[in-house]
Structure 1
Amino acid sequence: MLLGFNLLLWTTHVTQEHFHLFEEIRKTGYDGVELPIFEGDPEHFRKVGQVAKDAGLRITAVTVLPDEQTSAISPDPASRANALKRLHWALDCLSAAGGELLCGPFYQPLGVFTGEPATTEERAGIVEVHSQAADYAAKLNLKLAVEPLNRFECHALNTVEDTAAVVTKVARPNYGMLYDTFHQNIEEKDPVGVILPNIAQINHVHVSENDRGTPGKGHVPWDATFKAFKKGGYQGFYTIEAFGRALPALAAATRVWRDFFPSRDEVYRFGHDFLREAHAKA
C-alpha cells in the first residue's frame, strides 16, 4: 500500500516553516506527500521537493483553476487557453519538485455554477484542454488525475462514470481519474460498486472520511472499498485529504464551516494507522 498525505491540512502554499512536517510525516510511516500548487514558481518547488526527497518521501501534487477567465469548460477560447497555460505552469512546478502525478478538479473554478447540468460542449472543452495538458505532462514524465467533485462544489464532473468517459476520450496513457471517498460517498448510488467497472481509468485515490475529518471516524465503508481496489489490482497512491477551518479561503471554497477533528496530529497519526490496518485486512 502506497500511503500519502495531502499538506492542505496545514497550508495552501508550502514554505520553509512547513519543512519540519516532511520528517514527521515520514516517521509516521507515509510513503509520500501531496503538495498544493496554487502559487509560486518552479524554483520554489525545486527547493520544496528536495526537502521532501531528503526525508524519503515521494511527491504528488494538487492544483485548481482559479477563476472563470481560466476555465476548461468555458465557451471562450481565451479562457480555455488560460486553463491550459495554468496546467503547464503547475506541471512545470511539479516537475521541478521531482514529483510524479498532478491531481485535482482542474477543469472549472470551484463554486461557479450555470444552474444547469454539464453540457456536451463543456465536457468537450475538458477533453480539448486535458488532451493537450496530458501531452505536455508526458514530455515531463508526469501523470494527470482529474477529480470529480460533489455537486455543491462544481457541476461539470460529479460522478465516476462521467469522469471515466472523459478519461476514455482523452485517451492518453498518462491521464486518468482520481477517486475520492468523500465526494463519491455523496454522489454515487453505490460508491464501492463504481470502482471495479472503472478501475482501468483510476490512477489516484483520495482516502477521505465522509465529513472530511479523520479517516476511520466516520462511515466510509473502508473494508469494501479496499477490497474493490485490491481486486482490481490498483497499485497507485492512497492519499489522505482532510482539512478544517484553519485555511479560510480553502474552507470557503469547499464549504467547510466547522472543524471535523480535535487536532491535526490525530488526522495524520490515527489516519495512518487505521488505513494501513484496514487495507491489510481487506
Structure 2
Amino acid sequence: MNIGFNTLLWGPGLSLELFPLLDSLKGAGYDGVEIPIFAADVAHHKVVGQALKDAGLRSTAVTVIPDEEHNPCSPVAAHRAGAVDYLKGIIDTCQAAGTEILMGPYHQPLGVFSGGGPTKDEWERAAEVHRQAADYAQQAGVKLIIEWLNRFECYFITTMQQGADYAALVNHPNFGTMFDTFHANIEEKDPAASLKKHLGAVGHVHISENDRGTPGTGHAAIRESIQVLKEGGYDGWLTIEAFGRSLPELAAATRVWRDLFPSPEEVYTKGIAYIKECLAD
C-alpha cells in the first residue's frame, strides 16, 4: 500500500509557496500527496508535476463540483454538459501534474440538499456524466474515484453501500468508489464490516480521524479498517486527510471551529507512524 497526505491541511491548492513542504513529507516517509484541484490550470500543474518528481513523490488529486451550473445530477442538460466540461478540465490538469487518481465528491455541489434522498433519475443523469468523464480520464491515464460523504454534507451518496451501487451503475473500468474512515464513523454501524463487504469496489482510502485531527488520537475505526484492507489484498492509497483553521474559508467549509492538533507537523509525523503501526499488526 502507498501512504499519502492531503495538502488541503495547508491550503486550497498546491501553490509555489508550499513546494518546500514536499521535501518534508517525503522525509517523513510518504509515497505521495493528494493535491486539491478546484479549477483547471494546466500550466501551473506542469510546474507542480515537476516539483513532485524532484521530491520523489507521486500524487492523487481531489476536486468538488463548484456550483449548480456544473451539477452532474441536474435536470438541466446544460448544467450536466457543464459538469462534463468541468471534469475534463480538471482531468487535463491532473494529467499535467502526472496525477494517478482524481477522487472527490464530484457528484453534486457540497452542502446542497433536495429535502430527500437521491432519486433514480438523478443517479441515471449523473452516471451518464461520469461515464463520459471516465472515458476521457482513461485516455489521460487518470483513474476516477467518487467519494461518498456523510449525510450532513450531501444527499447523493452517503454510505459505502451507495458508493458501491453507484460505481456499479456507472459500470466503467476507469471508475470506482472509495472509503473514508471519518464518513464511515458517522454513517456505518460497523465501518470495518462495511469496508469488507464492498472492498472490491474500493479504489482509494482516506484515513481521517473522527474529529478530522491526527489519526490514532480518536475513535474512528482506522486500525480495524487497515486490517480489512490488508487481509483483502488492497494495494492502493492510504491518504491522510485532516483539516485545521489556518484558512478561514476552508475551516468554514469543513466545519473546523477549534484547533484539533498542536501543529500540522504532528499530524503528518504521528499520522504516518500510526498507519505504519497498523500495517505492522
Flag whether TM exceeds 0.5 (same fold).
yes
- Three-state SS of the structure 2 residue aligned to 1:11 is coil
Q: Which residue of 2 aligns with 1:156?
A: 156
Q: What's the RMSD between the two structures over aligned residues?
A: 1.0
> What residue number does 1:112 align with?
112
Shifted more, 2-11 versus 37-46: the winner is 37-46
Q: In the alignment, which residue of structure 1 is the partner of 2:232?
A: 232
Alignment of 1:137-176 (within 5 A): 137-176=137-176
- For the 8 Å contact 2:207–2:238, the answer to whether it is kept is yes
Q: Work out whether residues 110 and 253 of structure 1, in 8 Å CA contact, stay in contact via their aligned partners in 2.
A: no
Shift in CA distance, 254/198, structure 1 to aligned 2, threshold 3 Å: same
* Separation in 2, partners of 1:194, 1:40: 34
Q: Report how many residues are paired.
A: 281
Residue 43 in structure 1 maps to residue 49 in structure 2: no
Query: How do residues 179-198 of structure 1 correspond to structure 2 at under 5 angstroms?
Result: 179-198=179-198
Q: What is the match of residue 24 of structure 2?
A: 24
Alignment match, 2:102: 102
Q: Is contact 1:163-1:177 (8 Å) kept?
A: yes
Counterpart Cα distance in 2 of 1:22 and 1:40: 22
Q: CA-to-partner distance for each residue in 1:135-186, whole Å, 9 max, x for gaps?
A: 0001011101100001111000000111111111111122111210001110
Quote the offset at 1:223 in angstroms: 2.5
Q: Which amino acid aligns with 1:250?
A: L
**Range moving further from structure 2, 147-156 or 220-229:** 220-229
The residue identity in structure 2 corresponding to 1:6 is: N
Aligned runs of 1:74-85 on 2, under 5 Å? 74-85=74-85
- For the 8 Å contact 2:214–2:270, the answer to whether it is kept is yes
Shift of residue 123 of structure 1?
1.2
CA distance in 1, matches of 2:52, 2:173: 27
Q: Deviation of residue 46 (structure 1)? A: 0.6
2:40–2:89 CA contact under 8 A, matched in 1 = no
Q: Is the 8 A contact 2:49 2:98 kept in 1?
A: yes
- Cα deviation, residue 251, structure 1: 2.1
| Aligned counterparts of 1:139 and 1:49: Cα–Cα separation in 2 | 18
CA distance in 2, matches of 1:178, 1:251: 23
Aligned residues of 1:104 and 1:147 also touching (Cα < 8 A) = yes
Name the CA distance, whole Å, in 2 between partners of 1:143 and 1:29: 24
- Hey, what's the Cα distance between the residues in 1 that align with 2:213 and 2:229? 22
- Partner of 1:172, secondary structure, is coil
Q: CA deviation at 1:121?
A: 1.3
Quote the residue 1:276 is aligned against: 276
- 1:166-213 Cα shifts (integer Å, max 9, x gaps): 111111122111210001110112111111221111000000001110
Stretches of structure 1 lacking an aligned partner (at least 5 in a row):
none
**Residue 238 of structure 2 aligns to a residue in which SS?**
strand
Q: Distance in 2 between matches of 1:189 and 1:277?
A: 25
Stretch deviating more after TM superposition (243-252 or 260-269): 243-252
Alignment match, 2:265:
265
Task: Report which stretch shifted further, 95-104 or 247-256.
Answer: 247-256
Q: How does 1:212-231 map to 2 (within 5 A)?
A: 212-231=212-231
